[in-house]
Amino acid sequence: MPLLTKRDDIEVVLWTEDRVSDRQWLLENVKGAVGIVIVFSELVDAELLDAAGPNLKVVSTMSVGYEHIHVPELAKRNIRLGYTPDVLTDAVADISVMLALMAGRNANETMGIVREGLWPKFIWAPFALCGPQLSTSGVSPSRTVGFLGFGRISHATLARLIPFGVTDCIYSSNPNSSTSHKKERDEKLLGQHQPQLKSLRAVDLDTLGRESDVLFILAPGGPSTQHLVNEDFLRKMKKHSVLVNAGRGTVVDSDALAKALREKWIWGAGIDVVEGEPNVGKDHPLLKEPRCNILPHIGSASFETRLAMATLAVDNCLAESFFVISIAITETDPVFFFIFSPATWYHAKMKSPSKICHMDSFSSNAANDVVPDGKSFLPQIFDPHAIHYCLNAAVDLLPLCSLLVIYSRTFTPCLRLIERPIAV
C-alpha cells in the first residue's frame, strides 16, 4: 500500500476492510477514478465502468484470471487491463501437487477419522486407508499426468512431478493457440525432463480423460471451458485416477464430480476452486464426498506470492508507459505491428517480416495458454514484461527495419529510434 499512499500526486480511495469491497461502495467511490485495483471476485462490467466515467484508463486485477472483467467493455472504452501472471505460478503449482497427494492418499477422509476422535477405534489392516501412490514404484513403474490447460502453472507443476517418477505427460489446451509454437515448446519441455519423462503430447479431451492417472485442471474459466469436465468426461477416467482442479471452478460440473466420487468412477479429487464459490455451504454435494479434498481457493495464498501480486497490481495500475512497438518496412509497404506480451512477441517472431502482417489479434494470456477472442480490440491487456520484450524485439528486428517507432500508451509516436534504408 505504501506504493500508493506515499505518492502525493495520487489521490487514493481505499476500501479499508480485509475483504472484497461492497458493490455499492465501489459504485459510489469509483466515480472519476483514473485507475482501479481490484481482486478476482469483483465484477467489472458496464455498470462499474459507467460509474467510473471517462477518466478511467486502467483496470488492474490482483489475479492472473480475468473472467470477472468484461474485456470487450474495456476495449470499447479504450481502458487497459493489467493482470498478474508469473508471480503466482510457483504457489499454485505447489498447491496442485499438494492436492494430488491429498486426493490420492485420502487426506480428507483420514484426517476426518482423527478429528472426530475415531483413531482409537481404528483397526489397522495392511490395506486399510490405502490409496494410489503418486510416485512410481517397482510394481507401478509408469505414471501419466494429464493437464487440461497447459500454460506456465502446468509447466511448473510438471517440473515438480518429475522427481516423483512421472513418465508420461499429456495435455489438452486452447485449440486457438499456435500449433508451431506448441510443437517447439513441447520439444523443449520434453528435453528438459528427459530421460525421466518419456513422452509429452497434446491429445484430445477424450484421450486426456482416458489416459491420465492424475489430471490437473489448470485452465481459465469462462464460456469456452465451462463444464469441459462433465459426466461424460468423468465416466471415461480410470478408476484409480485423481482429479485436481486449481484452475477455475466452472471447468468442472460439481454435480457430475460428486456422482463420480460417490459411484467410484474415479479415486479422488483435490480441488481449490468450486463453481459458484464462495457459496459452498455444508450441504454442497462435494462436501458429502469423503474423497473430495476441498480448499477455499488458496492457490496463490502464500505471503510471498500475495505480496508480489499486490505489488504488480499496483505497478500495473500506475504504469506510465504502455508501450506498443510498430515497425514499418517501407520496401514491402506493410506495417508490422504488434502488441506486447511474451506470447504475442512469439507470434510476431514467427511471421515473416517480408509479408504483410498486421498483428491486430489480441495479446494472449500465456499463463493460461489462451488467446481471448479480441480481434477488434487493440492493446488492452499488457504484460508486466512488456518493456523487456519490446527492447528484445527491437534488437532482433532492427536489421530488417527501415523505420522503428515506439509508441506511447496514447499511441502517439513518442520516440523514433532509427530510420534508414532497408537492409535486406
Active site residues: 248, 277, 297
> 88 and 305 in contact (C-beta within 8 Å)?
yes
Residues 368, 188: Cα–Cα separation, whole Å? 18
Query: Residue 91 has which C-alpha cell?
Result: 504457489
DSSP string, 111-154: HHHHHTT-GGGPPP-TTTT----SS--SSS---EEEEES-SHHH
Minimum gap (Å) between residue 172 Cβ and ligand DGY: 20
Among 30, 40, 269, 359, binds ligand DGY (CB under 6 A): 40
Q: With CB under 6 A, what is the number of residues at the site for ligand DGY?
A: 7
* 372: amino acid identity, one letter: P
Does 64 sit near ligand DGY (CB under 6 A)?
Answer: yes
Minimum gap (Å) between residue 42 Cβ and ligand DGY: 12
Rg from Cα positions in the chain: 24
Query: Residue 318 has which C-alpha cell?
Result: 500506475
Question: Which is closer to ligand DGY, CB of 166 or CB of 280?
Answer: 280
How many Å separate Cα 237 from the centre of its chain? 24
Phi then psi dihedrals of residue 365, to 5 deg? -95, 90
Minimum gap (Å) between residue 244 Cβ and ligand DGY: 14
Does 249 sit near ligand DGY (CB under 6 A)?
Answer: no
Question: Which is closer to ligand DGY, CB of 147 or CB of 336?
Answer: 147
Does 65 sit near ligand DGY (CB under 6 A)?
Answer: yes
Which residues ranging from 66 to 125 are in contact with ligand DGY (CB under 6 A)? 88
Does 144 sit near ligand DGY (CB under 6 A)?
Answer: no
> 327 and 68 in contact (C-beta within 8 Å)?
no
Q: Which stretch binds ligand DGY (CB under 6 A): 49-57, 61-69, 345-353, 399-407?
A: 61-69
Does 63 sit near ligand DGY (CB under 6 A)?
Answer: yes
Question: Which is closer to ligand DGY, CB of 131 or CB of 299?
Answer: 299
Q: At which residue does the C-alpha cell 495479446 appear? A: 363
Between the alpha carbon of residue 158 and those of residues 16, 152, 166, the distances in Å are 39, 10, 9
Q: At which residue does the C-alpha cell 528438459 appear? A: 192
Give exposure, 72-88, as e/b (b: 16+ Cβ within 10 Å): ebbbebebbbbbbbbbb
Does 216 sit near ligand DGY (CB under 6 A)?
Answer: no
Q: Which stretch binds ligand DGY (CB under 6 A): 63-71, 137-145, 278-286, 382-390?
A: 63-71
Residues 112, 116: Cα–Cα separation, whole Å? 6
Question: Which is closer to ligand DGY, CB of 212 or CB of 365?
Answer: 365
> How many other C-beta atoms are found inside a 10 Å radius of the C-beta of residue 413?
11
Question: Which is closer to ligand DGY, CB of 92 or CB of 145?
Answer: 92
Beta strand pairing call for 324-328 and 335-339: antiparallel
Minimum gap (Å) between residue 151 Cβ and ligand DGY: 12
Does 44 sit near ligand DGY (CB under 6 A)?
Answer: no
Minimum gap (Å) between residue 65 Cβ and ligand DGY: 3
Among 96, 173, 300, 380, binds ligand DGY (CB under 6 A): 300
Residues 173, 413: Cα–Cα separation, whole Å? 37
Say if residue 223 is exposed, middle or buried (CB neighbours under 10 Å; 0-12, 13-18, 19+): exposed
Question: Which is closer to ligand DGY, CB of 65 or CB of 82?
Answer: 65
Question: Which is closer to ligand DGY, CB of 106 or CB of 380?
Answer: 380
Q: Which stretch binds ligand DGY (CB under 6 A): 57-65, 197-205, 227-235, 392-400?
A: 57-65
Q: Where are the alpha helices (DSSP H) in 194-332?
A: 205-211, 231-236, 254-262, 303-318
Minimum gap (Å) between residue 41 Cβ and ligand DGY: 9
Question: Which is closer to ligand DGY, CB of 203 or CB of 301?
Answer: 301
Minimum gap (Å) between residue 20 Cβ and ligand DGY: 12
- Per-residue DSSP letter, 365: B
Minimum gap (Å) between residue 12 Cβ and ligand DGY: 23
Residues 418, 7: Cα–Cα separation, whole Å? 35
Find residue 80's DSSP bridge partners: 58
Residues 59, 79: Cα–Cα separation, whole Å? 7
Applying CB under 6 A, the residues found at the interface with ligand DGY are 40, 63-65, 88, 299-300
